Amino acid sequence: MSINIKEGELILIDKELNWTSFDVVNKIRYAIKKKFDIKKIKVGHAGTLDPLATGLLIICCGKMTKSINNFSAMNKTYTGKITIGSTTPSYDLETKPNVHYPIDHIDERLILKTAKKFVGKIFQTPPMFSAIKKDGVRLYNLARQGKEIKIDKREVSIDSFEITSFNLPEISFNVTCSKGTYIRSLAHDFGKELKSGAHLSELRRIKIGDYSVKDSVKVMDFIREI
């Protein structure tokens, strides 16, 4: 794999479980600096993936970092699983389920009907366990301190929200959405709309715009190949 340091490079990475997006950036930056014996190079990502999410991460190097905002603005497509009947403080499996709800009234018909309500422009509240800053402090740091603050709702756009399989209490889905959409919040709100509760139990990003995870490589494979 050849890297054009002078003109910049776009790298498609398939992020693995438990890596942060910054872990990926730092690992690639270090590998490029070592490989080409350079002291400094700009490296950044175009859209964060949570540690418990896997899939496509666009990494920009050198002059390509000037285009990060363009890539970040593209729609994203995800696959994943939602567990119905319990909620967690983080809206995913970073924290343990702390409240449980009945699911006896929930069937396939209700789930499909409810999913349709989330297609289009919707307002959602980002999770407390997120990287958004409040007065210069990341929300997840405040959440881990046990602090609760008011978070303003945001308008996002859900182009499609397809339920692909049912195995209650777990369902699988495919969603295409705008920049700024929190799939964890989508799962949480979905549970509320079902008159129950829910949390995100699995997430994988498969597309950013026309870029596909099928064309990506694992971090360590990239490092071995440059």
Helix/strand/coil (H/E/C) assignment for every residue in the chain: CCCCCCCCEEEEEEECCCCCHHHHHHHHHHHHHHHHCCCCCCEEECCCCCCCEEEEEEEEEHHHHHHHHHHHCCCEEEEEEEEECEECCCCCCCCCCCEECCCCCCCHHHHHHHHHCCCEEEEECCCCCCCCEECCEEHHHHHHCCCCCCCCCEEEEEEEEEEEEEECCEEEEEEEECCCCCHHHHHHHHHHHCCCCEEEEEEEEEEECCEEHHHCECHHHHHHHC
- Active-site residue (options: 50, 135, 159, 221): 50
CB 166 within 8 A of CB 106: no
CA gap 131, 152 in Å, rounded:
14
CA gap 73, 140 in Å, rounded:
23
Is 50 a catalytic site residue? yes
State the catalytic residues.
50
